[in-house]
Amino acid sequence: MATRKTSIKPSPFPEPKPPGITVLVLAAGVGKRMHSRASKLAHNLAGKPMVRYVVDAALALGAQRVLMVVGSQSEDVRQAVGTKDPRVSFCIQEQPLGTGHAVLSAEKVLKGAEDTLLILNGDLPSLRVETLRSLLEFHRQHAVPLTLLTAVLEDPAAYGRIVRNYNSDVARIVEASDATPEEKQIQEINAGIYCVEMKHLFKNLLQAGANNAQGEIYLTDLVEILKRNHQKVAAYRHPDSEEVMGVNNRRELARAGKRLYLRKAQELMDAGVTFLDPECTYVEANVRVGRDTVLCPMTFLVGDTVVGESCWIGPGTRISNSVVGEGTEILDHCVITQARLGRGVKVGPFAHLRPDTELAEGVRIGNFVETKKTAIGRGSKANHLTYLGDSEIGEGVNIGAGTITCNYDGEKKHKTVVEDGVFVGSDSQLIAPVRVRKGAYVGAGSTITKEVPPYSLAIARGRQVVVKGWAKKHKRKQH
Ligand code: UD1
Ligand code: CA
């Protein structure tokens, strides 16, 4: 049957370009309540520094520019942002004199911008890009100078409260430390997420004082100032209060971390990954996992790890910055760091694969085996109690129980090469630098110091001496 050709004509009315959006992230606070040497925003949650979640949400929103307000000392925050995206830039708030002061420190840099500015507290790691989209949409529909994102909390604790007037319009925000007992009862809180039209921002915010319990210039005073100047303020009430919770102390850090791990698990389950218990399986933000893979409890997948399809991992296993091929099984209590594992590999239980381990298809690494800077060829096995370091193991090799590559002479590391089809008997030491050639055998209990030629047998151990009848003459005390 002939298919009808469809020609897509360009529309005579091109879609209007969405108005540009600039995001300002407030990241210069001290974060006293964390009791940390590091800046609060550099703390890690589920695989990313706190502030990075906010930056990523802003970028995913399609912001044309993401401006970070950071303290003059906060090198760690800059590092935590850690993106080379040209849309991200920094400006300095010399002293942490409050959120309003932080916004004012960006005035020069933002001068001339006429668009909508989205202001975000930097301590909102659970914030989703969809929520920001809904907020922007709401802001555009209401066409007001300022829209706040609010949420209703069972326990509004230290959050700023939304005070509404007789006809339930937003009148002002009162910080918990300035609130009267009645105001403290208000459960609708300010999330620290604001949409503001640039042309209304600075001229109004400049009117904010620091006459409050904390002696700071509050961004939240902008609401009252706008209202005083007969401007409208809208509030977008977000239904998921957990998502907009700020992280101010270690308890909130733990809670947000847990939530982010669970969110990642849910994403992966929706894409076909099985979790025996998603509540206690910890897959970090950047990890990728193929479908039909089973993740057991207390498994940690860390950093830029990629796990293929139909694998079995855990329980109690940690894999960091590694690649795991399809159909590979990594059993209980393994630690795997910066390693590459091919398809159909079997590892563990209790194995330790250290950086620069490369396992080809079908390799088997058993219990209490440690590898480092070692490549192992197809189908080779090291099943028990072995250390392989700085080595190259060929295909179809059998490494017997208790084999050790003695790679370190006290000063330097040396290489061991074991070629294809070699059989290394149990309890052997390979003293590097050394090479065991193709198809050779190493007798059990050997200490190999010299090259073993192809297809030969090397035995390097004390010869057995048998003294007949010796035991009878040296009768042991009988119990
Ligand atoms: C702020 C809000 C509060 C709201 C809450 C939501 C104010 C005055 N209060 O309170 O109404 O309920 O967030 O989580 O805004 N920062 C700077 N420079 C400063 C101070 C802070 O950049 O001088 C940054 C911080 O790094 C942080 C953000 O601003 O990312 C918010 O500061 P924080 O001290 O956490 O404000 P809250 O007391 O939580
Ligand atoms: Ca906060």
Q: Please indicate, yes or no, if residue 16 is contained in any of the structural domains.
A: no
CATH of the domain at 119: 3.90.550.10
Tokens, residue 328: 């590979």
Q: Which atom of ligand 1 is nearest to the CA of 101?
A: 23
Q: Which atom of ligand 1 is nearest to the CA of 27?
A: 26
Do 210 and 63 lie in one domain? The reply is yes
Q: pLDDT tens-digit profile of 428-451?
A: 999 999 999 999 999 999 999 999
Mutate to test the pocket of ligand 1, among 24, 32, 36, 99 (most ligand atoms within 8 A of CB): 99
Nearest-CA residue for atom 35 of ligand 1: 248
Q: Please indicate, yes or no, if residue 464 is contained in any of the structural domains.
A: no
Do 192 and 65 lie in one domain? The reply is yes
Q: Please indicate, yes or no, if residue 223 is contained in any of the structural domains.
A: yes
pLDDT at 1 over 50: no
Cα–Cα distance, 248 to 310 (Å, whole number): 40
- What's the whole-number mean pLDDT along residues 227-248? 96
Distance between Cα 221 and ligand 1 center (Å): 13
Q: Please indicate, yes or no, if residue 1 is contained in any of the structural domains.
A: no
Q: Please indicate, yes or no, if residue 465 is contained in any of the structural domains.
A: no
Nearest-CA residue for atom 31 of ligand 1: 121
Mutate to test the pocket of ligand 1, among 72, 120, 121, 196 (most ligand atoms within 8 A of CB): 121
- What's the whole-number mean pLDDT along residues 329-347? 98
Do 197 and 279 lie in one domain? The reply is no
Top pLDDT among 73 and 257 is at 257
CATH of the domain at 421: 2.160.10.10
Check residue 112 and give its pLDDT: 77
- What's the total number of domains in the chain? 2
Strand partners, 406: 431
Tokens, residue 381: 């096995």
Tokens, residue 198: 């640039």
Out of 27-36, 107-116, 386-395, give the one with best mean pLDDT. Answer: 386-395
pLDDT at 13 over 70: no
Q: pLDDT tens-digit profile of 407-434?
A: 999 999 999 999 999 999 999 999 999 9
Burial label for 119, CB within 10 Å (0-12, 13-18, 19+), is buried
CB under 8 Å to 359, separation ≥6 — which residues? Answer: 339, 340, 341, 342, 345, 347, 353, 365, 376
Average pLDDT, the chain: 95
Query: Binning pLDDT at 50, 70 and 90, where does residue 378 land?
Result: very high
Do 293 and 227 lie in one domain? The reply is no
Distance between Cα 219 and ligand 1 center (Å): 9
Cα–Cα distance, 376 to 418 (Å, whole number): 9
- What's the whole-number mean pLDDT along residues 375-404? 98
Do 186 and 288 lie in one domain? The reply is no
Q: What is the largest CA-CA distance in the chain?
A: 112
Evaluate whether 299 touches 281 at the Cβ level (below 8 Å): yes
Residue 298: how many other CB atoms lie within 10 Å: 16
Q: Which atom of ligand 1 is nearest to the CA of 29?
A: 26
Check residue 328 and give its pLDDT: 98
Place of tokens 């080379």: 84
193 C-beta closer than 6 A to ligand 1: no
Q: Which atom of ligand 1 is nearest to the CA of 97?
A: 23
Query: Binning pLDDT at 50, 70 and 90, where does residue 73 land?
Result: confident
Burial label for 68, CB within 10 Å (0-12, 13-18, 19+), is buried
Distance between Cα 101 and ligand 1 center (Å): 11
Evaluate whether 430 touches 412 at the Cβ level (below 8 Å): no
Do 228 and 306 lie in one domain? The reply is no
Check residue 474 and give its pLDDT: 86
Do 298 and 172 lie in one domain? The reply is no
Q: Which ligand is in closest contact with the Cα of 191? A: 1
175 C-beta closer than 6 A to ligand 1: yes
Cα–Cα distance, 135 to 119 (Å, whole number): 12
Domain that holds residue 290: 271-458
Catalytic residue chosen out of the listed positions 142, 333, 384, 414: 384
pLDDT at 15 over 70: no
Which amino acid is located at 357 in the chain?
A: T
Do 319 and 284 lie in one domain? The reply is yes
- What's the whole-number mean pLDDT along residues 182-195? 98
Do 448 and 406 lie in one domain? The reply is yes
54 C-beta closer than 6 A to ligand 1: no
Check residue 24 and give its pLDDT: 98
322 C-beta closer than 6 A to ligand 1: no
Q: Which atom of ligand 1 is nearest to the CA of 244?
A: 14
Cα–Cα distance, 403 to 387 (Å, whole number): 7
Tokens, residue 64: 């044309």
Evaluate whether 134 touches 236 at the Cβ level (below 8 Å): yes
Top pLDDT among 113 and 6 is at 113
76 C-beta closer than 6 A to ligand 1: no
Query: Binning pLDDT at 50, 70 and 90, where does residue 19 land?
Result: low
* CA geometry: angle 366, 368, 373, nearest 5 deg: 85
Give whole-number Cα distances, 46 to 263, 268, 473, in Å: 10, 15, 69
218 C-beta closer than 6 A to ligand 1: yes
- What's the whole-number mean pLDDT along residues 307-335? 98
127 C-beta closer than 6 A to ligand 1: no
Q: Which atom of ligand 1 is nearest to the CA of 28?
A: 22
Cα–Cα distance, 465 to 473 (Å, whole number): 17
Q: Is residue 479 flagged as an active site residue?
A: no
Q: Please indicate, yes or no, if residue 129 is contained in any of the structural domains.
A: yes
Do 240 and 283 lie in one domain? The reply is no
Q: pLDDT tens-digit profile of 86-120?
A: 999 999 999 999 999 999 999 999 987 778 999 99
Query: Binning pLDDT at 50, 70 and 90, where does residue 17 land?
Result: low
191 C-beta closer than 6 A to ligand 1: yes
Q: Which ligand is in closest contact with the Cα of 153? A: 1
pLDDT at 2 over 50: no
Distance between Cα 247 and ligand 2 center (Å): 6
Q: Please indicate, yes or no, if residue 398 is contained in any of the structural domains.
A: yes
Residue 72, CB half-sphere, CA atoms under 13 Å: how many?
A: 6
Q: Which ligand is in closest contact with the Cα of 148? A: 1
Q: Please indicate, yes or no, if residue 258 is contained in any of the structural domains.
A: no
User: b vs e for 235-253, b when ≥16 Cβ sit within 10 Å of the residue's Cβ?
Assistant: bbebeebebbbbbbbeebb
Do 334 and 415 lie in one domain? The reply is yes
- What's the whole-number mean pLDDT along residues 320-348? 98
Evaluate whether 361 touches 346 at the Cβ level (below 8 Å): no
- What's the whole-number mean pLDDT along residues 311-333? 98
Do 171 and 287 lie in one domain? The reply is no
Spell out the SS3 assignment of the chain.
CCCCCCCCCCCCCCCCCCCCEEEEEEECCCCHHHCCCCCHHHCEECCEEHHHHHHHHHHHCCCCEEEEEEECCCHHHHHHHCCCCCCEEEEEECCCCCHHHHHHCCHHHHCCCCCEEEEEECCCCCCCHHHHHHHHHHHHHHCCCEEEEEEECCCCCCCCEEEECCCCCEEEEECHHHCCHHHHCCCEEEEEEEEEEHHHHHHHHCCCCCCCCCCCCCCCHHHHHHHHCCCCEEEEECCCHHHHCCCCCHHHHHHHHHHHHHHHHHHHHHCCCEECCHHHCEECCCCEECCCCEECCCCEEECCCEECCCCEECCCCEEECCEECCCCEECCCCEEECEEECCCCEECCCCEECCCEEECCCCEEEEEEEEEEEEECCCCEEEEEEEEEEEEECCCCEECCCCEEECECCCCECCEEECCCCEECCCCEEECCEEECCCCEECCCCEECCCECCCCEECCCCCCCCCCCHHHHCCCCCC
Q: Which ligand is in closest contact with the Cα of 99? A: 1
Check residue 3 and give its pLDDT: 46
Check residue 11 and give its pLDDT: 61
Cα–Cα distance, 250 to 18 (Å, whole number): 39
119 C-beta closer than 6 A to ligand 1: no
90 C-beta closer than 6 A to ligand 1: no
Check residue 14 and give its pLDDT: 59
